[in-house]
Structure 1
């Protein structure tokens, strides 16, 4: 396959191969049954070189060799009506039968043409999208959160080496690239060089480092968020070009500790990181009515204020008053801020 075995898969309706084969067999059988019925109904207009009469078995035999274009010539239509029937009924049925037989080849050619057209159209319009490398538990959760924040599915591209993960992503409506994201050509197929954000959610820390290095080399402006298992590898991810690094083992450990010390705190934290229910932690721009006010005077519970490259705590004196270009990280009721930015 071109491109070193890598491919781009688009969302499509899922129909199993057994179902497709069964449908074609039933359709071919239907064509055969109709042809046999036509021939047997007008059996008096046919001549059999063996015994001059046409039985049901003879009609079945004639229909089979006729539809398959074998045509031995031992049974032939000789009456005017039988010849007209063969011309206007049996011949079209023969064409349909042949189309069914070569349908697989035609379908493959049509599918390849369709996929090429979709690929060309997709490459022309995909810009400022999100590339998710690794579609395991972390990658799926990231995609679900993005979708919950209102991001369209066509702005999310999944990259994974596992064919089942790629199939799962396409079944959920995402464009997916099958291949190793440590190779630049795979990320180029995902248009990572034009992505706005890249999520690295691989299973291994060393793979995450290589993917981050490759992604940063291709795209110097994208915001890269990477996940690692061990805390000691976080600095290496940042040196590789990651803007944010999430330590999965450390985060889980802290959640476990919080839940042990205070089950209520653990439930609240779980609620905050689970988008779409209860409380949500979001980033949003400052409303015009909030400009000039202190973070504590805002209706939403402000956690931090983002001003340019700097991040202020809500109680930092430098965070007040709020400016029009500031962004707020707030805790609000789920669904109360449908216009919250995706970041």
Structure 2
């Protein structure tokens, strides 16, 4: 289907739809877990053997009447495994009381260890269900990123460099391997086709603050944008397209901003040819968190009524309502309290709009 992303076709047998994967906690390797269970079972067996051996006078062996150490090991083994042949039995009051108070609890513990794998699976499933429900209940004003390729990764790196926490990012991708990689990096992932509304609902897109669409195909980006805008009318949607001719279609579909990756890369190449230094500065500006950063911030009370060039930061544009005014536009000055400034600052010198301090 033309609406499917190229990544979906490449995923092949690894494609799993409509599944939410939370970052996994660090657990022991399977062989180490098995070794731990074996050691625990041996410890219970040894303890039971010692209990029987210490009170061996209270036990009767139907074969010869006496209970030696091998008999104690044998009795402990058949008792813990609930086999109980009846050839060795406790007959004294102390031996019977010991079986009631000590051996029986040890038998239960031994069985729990033996079926520990099954219990662990059930417990893990319950724990994951609880974590998922808790995650859904707490998730608000988050960021949904569609596609975890080069563009999606770069977008997330930029957002995280400005203070966005990883638990506030949900990644949607059709490839299970890609989502596993995202989980390993600490992100929540949803496996599935983002053109489907049920997949986006699993990402809680209806509660998201912003959506980044970084798919491999332009037609997929259009379908995802339409679906996302239908589910969330107020979210900020930013989409990337390969061909500039598709940008108007993305805007008509509901995208607030459209980035043409091929044209942007071409312009940067041309600028670098004309002036390598200017190209280096532009590259620095789009790499958030190092060197110079371009950020948006509100006008400070002390700046109200002053000119654009009188601010403490290097202002390149003024956002007034829905109009973007250049720094040299006569209408940009004086600054108003409701204005927002697009400034160039040293990395880490200012907070980006909407990110926590």
Q: TM class, shorter-chain normalised? A: 0.7 to 0.9
CA distance in 2, matches of 1:43, 1:251: 85
Q: TM-score when scaled to structure 1?
A: 0.87
- 1:329 matches 2:307: no
Give structure 2 stretches of 5+ with no counterpart: 1-15
Offset at 1:5? 5.1
Give the 3 Å change call, closer, same or farther, for CA 80–205 of structure 1 in structure 2: same
Task: Indicate the structure whose relative CO is greater, using CA pairs within 8 Å and at least 6 residues apart.
Answer: 2
For 1:222, the equivalent position in structure 2 comes to 235
For 1:341, the equivalent position in structure 2 comes to 353
Offset at 1:286? 0.8
For 1:168, the equivalent position in structure 2 comes to 181
Aligned residue among 302, 310, 316 for 2:315? 302
CA distance in 2, matches of 1:213, 1:247: 18
CA distance in 1, matches of 2:250, 2:37: 53
Higher mean displacement: 276-285 or 107-116? 107-116
- 1:10 matches 2:22: yes
Aligned residue among 288, 293, 304 for 1:291? 304
CA distance in 2, matches of 1:80, 1:289: 89
The residue matched to 1:123 in structure 2 has which SS? Answer: helix
For 1:152, the equivalent position in structure 2 comes to 165
Answer whether contact 1:131 1:158 (CA < 8 A) is retained.
yes
CA distance in 2, matches of 1:5, 1:21: 32
For 2:210, the equivalent position in structure 1 comes to 197
The residue matched to 1:303 in structure 2 has which SS? Answer: strand
Offset at 1:333? 0.7
Q: TM-score when scaled to structure 2?
A: 0.84
The residue matched to 1:135 in structure 2 has which SS? Answer: coil
CA distance in 2, matches of 1:55, 1:298: 93
RMSD: 2.6
Offset at 1:256? 3.5
CA distance in 2, matches of 1:192, 1:173: 19
Give structure 1 stretches of 5+ with no counterpart: none
Offset at 1:198? 0.6
Q: How many residues align?
A: 339
